Amino acid sequence: MKFSMEKKSPAPKDMEPMTGRLNRVYEMLNGTRQLTLPMIRRLHEELGIAAEVLIRQAVAQA
């Protein structure tokens, strides 16, 4: 996911509408917070990150 973010260059602040508060964005990027299904959907729709990649990351964090 970090690779996709770097490619599209969204700032963590820009991800708040998709994931929640800014602290959640950083927790998600650091791997300390699991992605929820609504987060996966919004990240896929807004950033075009393949849902499979996001799901794989969510499963790996579990």
**Contacts of 55 by beta carbon, 8 Å cutoff, 6+ apart:** 40
CA atoms of 56 and 13, how far apart (whole Å) = 24
User: pTM for the whole thing?
Assistant: 0.73
Domain total in the chain: 1
Range(s) of the domain holding residue 55: 2-61
**Which residue has 């996709």 as its token pair?**
4
Give residue-wise pLDDT tens across range 8-59.
667 888 888 888 899 998 998 888 888 899 999 998 998 888 888 888 877 7
CA atoms of 60 and 45, how far apart (whole Å) = 21
DSSP state of 35: P
